[in-house]
Structure 1
Amino acid sequence: MASTEGLVPITRAFLASYYDKHPFTPLSAHVSTLSSQIRSMANDFLTQHPPIQGESILINEADQQPPHKMDENMWKNREYIEETIFLLQSSNWPEALKQQSTADSVEFAITLGKLKDKLHITLKALESFQTKNAEHVFNTVMTYLPQDFRGTLIRQQRERSERNKQAEVDTLVNSGGSIHDRYALLWKQQMDRRRQLAQLGSATGVYKTLVKYLVGVPQVLLDFTRQINDDDGPMEEQRHRYGPPLYSLTSMILSIQLFLSLSWARYDANNLKMEQITVLEQAVDVYTMELERFLTFISEVFANAPFFISAEVAGALEARKNDDYKEINVPAGKTYEVLLSVDAVNSYIAWDFSLVQGKINMDIGFSLEFVSPTGEKTLMLPYGRYESDQGNFCTLMAGSYKLIWDNTYSTFFKKVMYIGMLTNSVRCKLSHD
């Protein structure tokens, strides 16, 4: 069991500093150009022959923005790739193309077979990425669990859950479920996994009984599993940095699928032209190359990104990111107090403050008190003298606290700028009285 002493879950500010060191080389300009060309060719089909039954759903989906969540985009890419592979299989070609009665159709058939093979390779790369990423997250969580029967119970629970999920998929497929139906179920199962991970942190649902026996499980791990999927949590920085190129690729493969689907339905009236096949071939080539490049890059970034960092680093980064401070005067012989509340047990309160520069008495007294509901005060951090740019953090129980700047010893007033009073479970700025 790895130690988490002095650690807090990753923050969005930390991920931003980590991702700064790992910029993604922008997608090829061909992605945008070819996506537009493919979609324009699909629209030409619709201009000549309006949508038939069943096509409106796919058209509407292509008109919408891709999902915001990166993992949902990964599943969408898998779905659209599989749908495109299905259309490229010779058994699903239009009858006129199957007959290969012209020299062009023979050449088309050879090209379509090559495109199917390329997409199949990319599909396997995407499946491998998802499997490895899921194992990485789970194994990291397990690293911080006691290495005894408790960890074994969680592994067994996961294995049993995965077998049940696969049985669900098999039943759907055997009953004639479509590719779309299968991926709707797979995404639902993925959301179930995310909820179960969060339940481990909040000790609710399926894990409620189990967590009662998890004595010795670090609170920081439970905080991590509870917060990892928050809509505005650390992963939002990941979406902000690396989401846009993935969104573009999601739209591109959907446009390719839409083009082929509309083309096959209208093939008797509008045989594919050589220039259309050329654009299609270029689009599949660029899509597969760029998606595989993105997966290679993001795999390395994810594998090396930490889940936990020190509380000092978390507080300093958050303070720098927000650049938020309050300047106050502490008159001679007076004190200044900040009251704050802590809701989560074992939260970290971090603070940092500096004194406005002067010639005399460049330090100030500072202490931290716990205030009980009855008003009783307990000293949490002993009184001490602090100079500029000195910060600290302290592990606290739930309750109310008072941060006190003391200038009673001096005949001069002090200006204090203080920042970064945060909890690791909420990562929010606490209000000042």
Structure 2
Amino acid sequence: MASTEGLVPITRAFLASYYDKYPFSLLPNKVSRLTSELRSLADDLCLQEFLPLDEEESLLAIEAKVQAPRKTDENFWKNREQIEEIIFLLEKSNWPDLVRKQGSAEEVEFAGLFGRWKEKFQKTLNTLQFFQSRNSESVFNTVMTYMPQDFRGTLIKQQRERSERNKQGEVDALVNSGGSIRERYALLWKQQMERRQQLAQLGSATGVYKTLVKYLVGVPQVLLDFIRQINDDEGPMEEQRQRYGPPLYSLTKMVINIRFLLALSWRRFEARKLQRQQITVLEEAIEVYTTEFERFVEFLGEVFANSPFFITAESAGAMGGEKNTEYKEISVAARRTYEVSLMVETVKSYITWDFSLVPGKINLDIGFSLEYIDSSGQKMVILPYKRCESDKGKFCTCMAGNYKLVWDNSYSTFFKKVLRVKVDCILPVSDSVSSEATESL
């Protein structure tokens, strides 16, 4: 078990410095040019009145217009989905009837063209699958180096394998029931978000559950801190999204437009064969997309392979990062209050608090209360007002809405109070998370 002594999770400032060593050369201008040309050709086909858009084409038309997802991993899944859809179209059994019959020299030429396109996309798909698999294993293996190297580590590995088999079983059941590629990838992304949510819940665990996880299962505190904060809106991954997101978003838009034009052309092939201009644009777009996407994936694979999870506290401080603490020090002036409002969307969430007054020349108390405010502005007292030097507790919400924690120093005429406080809102720990922790124990 690797030691975590003196380590803290990577900070956004440190990650920015690390990424400075890995600049990604800009995509060529033809990526945006070809995407626009693909979209223009697709629009021309959409205007053909003899064959209106079907449901799938209508969904693609919307996707081709909206912004690409912001999450890096969601973009990778979106690209993988579109590549598989394109490969499906390029399967010989799915070619337009005229091409499958190959009754003329032109149709034989089309067949050769479709075969080459399929090979290019298959190679790109293999590159992406390898990247995702290697990255997932690398993250898990890195985490395991900080876990106990005894029966507990073995149990965690076994539980992960069991969980992944169950997820794969869900995918297999969907495929066997005739589920589409779109439905399969919607399920895969849902499973990915469940993994992320379970990690976030684990990292935010408190009380007895946190004690079990930390001491009996053997999860180090620094690892809990890492998985809790890594995907915060302004956390370390936001630096990754800002640094490497734009080229990935452009490639996502490009592959959606390639698929959109192909899908439209396939259904309209007998009425209007692929024109020379369409073939020229598709040929160049497919070459540019597969080349640039593979370059991006291989580049990011190198960045991820060398990226650290943890750094020393000294390094974090040198980068201007915040101290590794969950507490804030708040000065509450005389005749004033300090309030924290939490908008809770899920019932059975836990609101937790832990605060104490920083000792001063005069040790005094401060008022504290917790209240619920409904949509009409009516207040309901959850924790009655009391005066104390410190308090630690939690409340399980029974209603969604706005909860307000209030520290009251309005009764003090002269003395400010310095408060050291931590407040969390923790989503309900799902049954799957609880069972995984229990089985690991």
TM-score of the superposition, structure 2-length normalised? 0.71
Rate the CA distance shift 1:9–1:398 in 2: closer, same or farther, 3 A. Answer: farther
* Structure-2 separation of matches of 1:274 and 1:198: 52
- In the alignment, what sits opposite 2:257? 255
1:26 aligns with 2:26: yes
3-state DSSP class of the match of 1:309? strand
Q: Compute the displacement of 1:209 (Å).
A: 8.7
Structure 2 matches for 1:15-414, cutoff 5 A?
Answer: 15-49=15-49, 51-54=52-55, 55-203=57-205, 211=213, 213-214=215-216, 217-318=219-320, 370-371=358-359, 375=363
**Percent identical:** 63
* Structure-2 separation of matches of 1:18 and 1:247: 22
* Structure-2 separation of matches of 1:338 and 1:261: 59
* Structure-2 separation of matches of 1:120 and 1:254: 16
Code of the residue aligned with 1:258 in structure 2: it is F
Q: Compute the displacement of 1:275 (Å).
A: 2.9
3-state DSSP class of the match of 2:47? helix
Rate the CA distance shift 1:129–1:110 in 2: closer, same or farther, 3 A. Answer: same
Structure 1: which 5+ runs fail to align? 321-336, 347-368, 378-396, 400-421, 427-433
Contact 1:223 1:425 in 2 (8 A): no
Contact 2:353 2:421 in 1 (8 A): no
Rate the CA distance shift 1:225–1:253 in 2: closer, same or farther, 3 A. Answer: same
* Structure-2 separation of matches of 1:217 and 1:87: 47
Code of the residue aligned with 2:186 in structure 1: it is A
- Structure 1 residues 367-406: Cα deviation after superposition (integer angstroms, max 9, x where no partner): xx9539x9389xxxxxxxxxxxxxxxxxxx999xxxxxxx
* Structure-2 separation of matches of 1:47 and 1:180: 25
Q: Compute the displacement of 1:108 (Å).
A: 1.3
Q: CA RMSD for the aligned pairs?
A: 3.2
3-state DSSP class of the match of 1:8? strand
Rate the CA distance shift 1:242–1:425 in 2: closer, same or farther, 3 A. Answer: farther
* Structure-1 separation of matches of 2:146 and 2:309: 11
- Structure 1 residues 67-117: Cα deviation after superposition (integer angstroms, max 9, x where no partner): 000000000000000001111112111112222223222111101101101
Rate the CA distance shift 1:423–1:306 in 2: closer, same or farther, 3 A. Answer: farther
Rate the CA distance shift 1:306–1:423 in 2: closer, same or farther, 3 A. Answer: farther
3-state DSSP class of the match of 1:318? coil
- In the alignment, what sits opposite 2:11? 11
Q: Compute the displacement of 1:262 (Å).
A: 0.5
Contact 1:62 1:254 in 2 (8 A): yes
Contact 2:330 2:421 in 1 (8 A): no
Contact 1:94 1:267 in 2 (8 A): yes
Q: Compute the displacement of 1:52 (Å).
A: 2.3
Q: Compute the displacement of 1:229 (Å).
A: 2.1
Q: Compute the displacement of 1:212 (Å).
A: 5.9
- Structure 1 residues 235-266: Cα deviation after superposition (integer angstroms, max 9, x where no partner): 01000000111111111110010001001111
3-state DSSP class of the match of 1:371? coil
Structure 2: which 5+ runs fail to align? 323-328, 333-337, 339-350, 366-389, 393-419, 425-441
TM-score of the superposition, structure 1-length normalised? 0.73
- Structure 1 residues 179-209: Cα deviation after superposition (integer angstroms, max 9, x where no partner): 001000000111111122223323379x869
Q: Compute the displacement of 1:218 (Å).
A: 2.3
Rate the CA distance shift 1:239–1:424 in 2: closer, same or farther, 3 A. Answer: farther
Code of the residue aligned with 1:133 in structure 2: it is N
* Structure-1 separation of matches of 2:167 and 2:112: 38
* Structure-2 separation of matches of 1:424 and 1:12: 21
Contact 1:9 1:424 in 2 (8 A): no
Contact 2:152 2:217 in 1 (8 A): no
Q: How many equivalent pairs are there?
A: 344
3-state DSSP class of the match of 1:36? helix
Code of the residue aligned with 1:47 in structure 2: it is L
* Structure-2 separation of matches of 1:52 and 1:132: 39
3-state DSSP class of the match of 1:48? coil
3-state DSSP class of the match of 2:8? strand
Rate the CA distance shift 1:134–1:152 in 2: closer, same or farther, 3 A. Answer: same
